[in-house]
């Protein structure tokens, strides 16, 4: 898995493309450029000289559209006597996947063009005079004929299932966060001052609950049993205790007295508002329970799928949970698609800074990270690194050393790159001498 010395101006990618078209006349190489959208796609067919063979046309997302595209490709091949057909498109969300899989079955090699590269190419002077519908396909086609992009390698088997389960899990996590924020919004109106956030405010007031909203059992029971401060302030203590016990929650007179004393400090909200918001609060709490139950099921499923892959070795490392390991594995996919860790890292789109003309520009300051790669991979990698740094002395020392002379963001991205090297080596060798194993290992 070691990286070979470059033998081409554009490295391995350029060499692979040169080998692919070696000995072929450029006018016998056909390029099919596709601008993908949700409900229809725009296509253009041209040769490797950039000469248009079939002007832009639209195809729908159904079988009829695929047949129309294949017919246009076959007709262009017959007219030009093409010896090689290249297909290029942007990986637009998930909309490209079904079409790309079917094109591979023809078989037709499919190349994915980086969205940022297409944007930059579109802004060239030569692209500005194209018609609106032709701008993107022209930019894609120009990159395709120059050998840019990466081969489309669809996930199959356990890696496909792992990816899809994790994508659904991430969607449920967003719903969970949205519901929690909405519940806090309900409580701000129902019970003003019950939840106080922010450093300045928490220093200014004596809090009823010092623990996090979603980690405090008593608070969780309170907002389910009696979220109305006016009612809580007026009830006898014995009835407050009974109210909690009726729902299966523990409550004693001492805690009940504290809750009532705090409720009596509140500036009571409008009763009609309390009635409607209290109803909506209970609906959202019930929905949150359903979402969290589904999340547990998805996480258990991810754990089972992860055990079928070489990435299972990651679950033995301190600082990397099963869910984090599964999410990172789902974003990377089949490890056989990569020769070394650098190829995986490039897919993430993480670039901490640039060197221009051999001179370091302000040590990376002012150079924002270029987010041009796979958002799922980038998120999973940075999430994993955030906890690995806390538990792995090797990575912590590396990060602290970089922070002494680099901005924190640059140091974190560089640490992510180093961490990926170590994690990749563990997958390759199925053991690790550089990271701490969870049980029985020291460093």
pLDDT value of residue 373: 74
Residue bearing the bigger pLDDT, 422 or 435: 422
Contact present, 416 and 349 (Cβ < 8 Å) = no
pLDDT value of residue 2: 45
Q: Is 33 helix (H, G, I), strand (E, B) or coil?
A: strand
pLDDT band at 258 (very low <50, low <70, confident <90, very high): very high
pLDDT of residue 230 exceeding 80, the answer is yes
CATH 3.30.420.140, applies to 11-151: yes
pTM over 0.85: no
Instruction: Report angle CA 33, 35, 37 to the nearest 5 degrees.
Output: 150
Instruction: Give rounded-to-5 percent helix, strand, coil for the chain.
Output: 60, 10, 30
The whole-number average pLDDT for the span 416-431 is 93
Give percent of the chain above pLDDT 90.
65
pLDDT value of residue 362: 47
pLDDT value of residue 65: 94
The whole-number average pLDDT for the span 174-185 is 96
* Closest among 20, 325, 329, 330 to 151, alpha carbons compared: 20
Contact present, 65 and 75 (Cβ < 8 Å) = no
pLDDT value of residue 364: 45
Distance of CA 173 to the CA centre of its chain: 12
The whole-number average pLDDT for the span 365-387 is 77
Give the dihedral sign, CA 168/172/175/177: negative
The whole-number average pLDDT for the span 186-203 is 90
pLDDT value of residue 33: 94
CA distance 426 to 422: 6
pLDDT band at 24 (very low <50, low <70, confident <90, very high): confident
Tens digits of per-residue pLDDT, 359-369?
444 444 444 44
Please provide residue 254's backbone torsions phi and psi, each rounded to the nearest 5 degrees. Answer: -65, -50
Q: Among all chains, which residue has been given the structure tokens 């806090």?
A: 184
pLDDT value of residue 91: 86
CA distance 31 to 337: 24
Residue bearing the bigger pLDDT, 178 or 109: 178
pLDDT band at 265 (very low <50, low <70, confident <90, very high): very high
pLDDT of residue 180 exceeding 90, the answer is yes
pLDDT value of residue 359: 40
CA atoms within 13 A on the CB side of 261: 9
pLDDT value of residue 308: 96
The whole-number average pLDDT for the span 394-423 is 92
* Closest among 102, 89, 72, 77 to 144, alpha carbons compared: 89
Tens digits of per-residue pLDDT, 94-112?
889 999 999 999 888 899 9
* 235: DSSP letter: S
The whole-number average pLDDT for the span 170-183 is 96
* Closest among 94, 140, 141, 151 to 116, alpha carbons compared: 140
Beta strand pairing status for 150-151 and 110-112?
antiparallel
The whole-number average pLDDT for the span 139-159 is 90
The whole-number average pLDDT for the span 212-239 is 93
* Closest among 64, 235, 63, 37 to 140, alpha carbons compared: 37
Counts of helices then strands in the chain (DSSP H, E): 17, 8
Please list the alpha-helical segments (H only) found in 313-367.
Answer: 322-332, 341-348
pLDDT value of residue 354: 44
Q: Is 42 helix (H, G, I), strand (E, B) or coil?
A: strand
Of 1-5, 27-31, 187-191, give the lowest mean pLDDT range. Answer: 1-5
Q: Among all chains, which residue has been given the structure tokens 């959202």?
A: 284
CA distance 408 to 422: 21
């Amino acid at each position: 898995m070691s990286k070979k010395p470059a033998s081409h101006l554009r490295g391995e990618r350029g060499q692979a493309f040169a080998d692919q078209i070696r000995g072929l006349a450029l006018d016998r190489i056909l390029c099919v450029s596709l601008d993908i959208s949700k409900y229809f796609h725009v296509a253009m067919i041209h040769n490797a000289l950039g000469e248009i063979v079939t002007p832009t046309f639209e195809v729908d997302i159904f079988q009829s559209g695929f047949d129309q595209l294949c017919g246009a490709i076959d007709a262009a091949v017959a007219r030009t006597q093409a010896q090689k057909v290249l297909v290029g498109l942007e990986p637009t969300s998930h909309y490209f996947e079904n079409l790309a899989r079917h094109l591979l079955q023809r078989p037709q090699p499919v190349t994915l063009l980086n969205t940022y590269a297409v944007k930059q190419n579109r802004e060239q002077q030569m692209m500005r005079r194209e018609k609106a519908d032709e701008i993107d396909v022209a930019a894609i086609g120009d990159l395709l004929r120059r050998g840019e992009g990466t081969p489309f390698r669809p996930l199959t088997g356990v890696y496909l299932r792992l990816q899809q389960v994790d994508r659904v899990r991430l969607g449920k996590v967003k719903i969970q966060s949205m519901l929690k924020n909405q519940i806090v919004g309900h409580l701000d109106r129902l019970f003003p001052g019950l939840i106080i956030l922010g450093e300045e405010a928490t220093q200014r007031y004596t809090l009823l609950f010092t623990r996090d909203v979603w980690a405090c059992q008593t608070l969780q029971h309170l907002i389910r049993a009696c979220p109305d401060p006016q009612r809580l302030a007026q009830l006898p203590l014995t009835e407050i205790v009974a109210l909690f016990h009726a729902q299966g929650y523990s409550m004693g007179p001492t805690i009940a007295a504290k809750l009532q004393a705090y409720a009596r400090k509140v500036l009571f909200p409008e009763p009609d508002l309390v009635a409607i918001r209290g109803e909506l609060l209970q609906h959202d709490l019930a929905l949150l329970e359903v979402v969290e139950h589904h999340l547990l099921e998805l996480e258990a499923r991810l754990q089972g799928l992860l055990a079928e892959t070489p990435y299972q070795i990651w679950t033995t490392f301190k600082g990397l949970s099963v869910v984090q390991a599964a999410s990172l594995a789902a974003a990377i996919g089949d490890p056989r698609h990569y020769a070394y860790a650098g190829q995986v890292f490039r897919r993430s789109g993480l670039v901490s800074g640039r060197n221009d003309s051999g001179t370091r520009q302000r040590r990376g300051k002012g150079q924002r990270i270029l987010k041009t790669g796979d958002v799922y991979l980038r998120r999973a990698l940075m999430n994993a690194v955030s906890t690995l740094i806390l538990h792995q002395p090797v990575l912590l020392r590396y990060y602290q050393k970089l922070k002494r002379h680099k901005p924190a963001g640059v140091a974190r991205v560089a640490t992510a790159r180093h961490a990926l090297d170590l994690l990749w080596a563990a997958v390759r060798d199925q053991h690790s001498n550089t990271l701490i194993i969870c049980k029985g290992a020291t460093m």
